[in-house]
Chain A
Amino acid sequence: MRGRAGRYVGLLGVQVRASAVTSMQYRVDFLIEGAMSLYWLGWNLVPLLIVYNQRPTVAGWDFPSALVVIAWFSVLRGLLEGAVNPSLVGVVEKIRTGEFDYLLLKPADAQFLVSTAKFEPWKVLDVLGGIGLAVAAFVMLGRVPAAADVALCVVLLFGAALVLYSLWILIISASFWVIRLDNLVYLFMAVFDAARWPIAVFRGFWRVLFTLVIPLALMTTFPAMAILGTLESHVAILGLGGAVVFAAAARLLWRAAIRSYTSASS
């Protein structure tokens, strides 16, 4: 008998394979998606190019550093649109129509099943594009990041992905009580857009909102500072701690939501 973890790894493999097979049927999409992500990556740089054409720094960030933030923004958007959104967008609809019942009957954790239902492998192009931008930024800086900094950056990016995923689970859990939340995904993406600039450009209320309530700082600015070697270690620890707290809160609310859902329908 394989262990519980082994079973879930196997299940994940099956779900990923199913998504990969589906998307291989739409190979033209690969070209379209690829062109679109390059296209948006390019447009996103336009304001930055205009600003830095006349200024050496903005709010203490020079051009290559700001480029690293945009790079991580692109990586995270690729993860979000490729691995998180596709599965979770459908859940709200399933809850509304009652199709969710069938999911609960399956002999595996419901949160795991809904979170891995669908992947869009082509979005890996956004991730690659982002990494390319980061490499370009370091070429401009003329140095190689220290191995420890890269490691910390990768850990923080995982933390960021965890926070994004947890925010999604929180939204979905809320939809057990408030049914119509279909277009909340667009709002979510619109807010996430703010992560493209270093958090230092926002002031006052917005800075607090984007650091503590919707932790955008943790998502792109902190990993960028980590790889640039300017992140203080206590900030990194606080950030990762925050990510874990977010994930735990999302899990707890999800379980509360499931309990109220089953008791409501029977």
Chain B
Amino acid sequence: MPSETLPAWRAALRATPTLLRVGVAETVAYRVEFVIWMMTTTLPLIMLGLWTSVAAEAPFAQFGQREFVAYYIAVLIVRNLTGSWVVWQINEEIRRGLLSFRLLRPVHPFVTYAASHLASVPMRSVIAIPFAVILLISSAREILVTDPVMLLVLAASLLGAWLITFFILLMIGAVGLFVDKSVAVFEVYMGFFAVLSGYLVPPALMPGWVASIAKWTPFPSMLGFPVQLAIGSYHRRLDALGDLAIQWGWVVLVIVAALAVWRAGIRRYEAFGS
């Protein structure tokens, strides 16, 4: 049989278009749930409430009202494009034994997870992003990035942010193969993410010690970096490219780590599952 002799990566490549189509169909089928999931990422707007009220009295550091609006709407967009709920999905599949079916397929589970979540990105873009982008352009046109090189860097950084976020979440999901409480692990992760990535507070306004901790973690690469690119905080291309290199370094590291945790976890899962 020719399909059995195909190397793993060719099989994955051949299956991808079908997997993506299935993913789109799933997203469309559960559209109401999907919209609700998207609406739960409103925390940036709540933060924006606080900060615009602060900036209405006088600019805060170098941030005026316009900068805050641009920053948090960009956060909302990047978060909507890069976030996913794969941790809950993996937990549910482990609990109900559905993971076994996924493992039977001839492609790596990471590929099937990634396909179904990537497929939901266009749908998200259709619903939320146009509003946000119009809002962003109308309220802060002058500060948005326009340099074509920087726009390319922005596109690459969005892909990088998606990859880091997705593989960290896969890794946390895989922790569920060892312990029951992987959702608790996720909450700890969210706590660090919220503060260190720039989700709650723009990196430029972080106290020095928070910023110096953040520098050694992948969190700024997941949110703060693309957002700052979009709202034109980078004035020199070289700085942006340097941070892009750091981001993609994290991409490689996170993928390797996620694969390792997954492999160890699956060995355990098979050991007592069968």
Contacts and interface: CB of A to CB of B under 8 A. Distances in A.
A54 B53 contact: no
Given A47-B47, A202-B49, A58 B191 contact: no
B46 A55 contact: no
B195 to A, nearest CB: 6
A58 B53 contact: yes
Interface stretch (A87-95, A146-154, A181-189): A181-189
Interface in A141-200: 180, 182-184, 186-187, 189-191, 193-194, 196-197, 200
Given A32-B184, A194-B49, A40 B40 contact: no
Contact of A54 (B33, B60, B195): B60
A112 interface: no
Interface stretch (B111-119, B162-170, B199-207, B263-271): B199-207
B131 interface: no
A39 interface: yes
B53 A203 contact: yes
Mostly helix, strand, loop or mixed at chain A's interface? helix
Given A40-B191, A59-B53, A197-B49, 5 more contacts: A54-B61, A180-B33, A201-B53, A202-B53, A203-B53
Residue picked from A50, A51, A191, A193, most chain B C-beta under 10 Å: A50
A203 B65 CA distance: 13
B6 interface: no
B207 A186 contact: no
Interface residues of A, number: 32
Interface in B67-121: none
B53 A50 contact: no
B181 interface: yes
Interface in A11-63: 32, 36, 39-40, 43, 46-47, 50-51, 53-55, 58-59
Contact of A47 (B41, B42, B52, B201): B201
A171 to B, nearest CB: 11
B48 to A, nearest CB: 10
B-side interface size class: 20 to 34
Contacts of A201: 49-50, 53
Given A190-B42, A201-B53, A43 B33 contact: no
A36 B184 contact: yes
A177 to B, nearest CB: 13
B195 A190 contact: no
8 contacts: A43-B191, A51-B50, A51-B51, A55-B54, A184-B36, A193-B43, A194-B42, A194-B46
Contacts of A193: 42-43, 46
B271 to A, nearest CB: 24
A203 B45 CA distance: 12
Contacts of A180: 30, 32-33
Contacts, number: 80
Contacts of A186: 36-37, 40
A189 B40 CA distance: 8
Given A32-B181, A190-B41, A197 B46 contact: yes
Nearest to A51: B54
A203 B41 CA distance: 20
Contacts of B201: 46-47, 50
A47 B32 contact: no
Interface string A114-151: 00000000000000000000000000000000000000
B157 to A, nearest CB: 25
Contact of A187 (B40, B53, B207): B40
B127 interface: no
The 3 A-B pairs with the shortest beta carbon distances in the complex, nearest first, are A201-B53, A190-B40, A186-B40
A244 B125 CA distance: 41
Contacts of B30: 180
Contacts of A203: 52-53
Contacts of B51: 51
A249 B39 CA distance: 26
Given A50-B207, A190-B43, A183 B33 contact: yes
A187 B61 CA distance: 33
Nearest to A191: B42
A96 B41 CA distance: 26
A50 B203 CA distance: 12
B210 to A, nearest CB: 8
Contacts of A51: 50-51, 54, 60
A19 B207 CA distance: 43
B187 interface: yes
A43 B200 CA distance: 9
B188 interface: yes
B257 interface: no
B205 A50 contact: yes
Contacts of A53: 207
B137 interface: no
B8 interface: no
A197 B54 CA distance: 12
Contacts of B205: 50
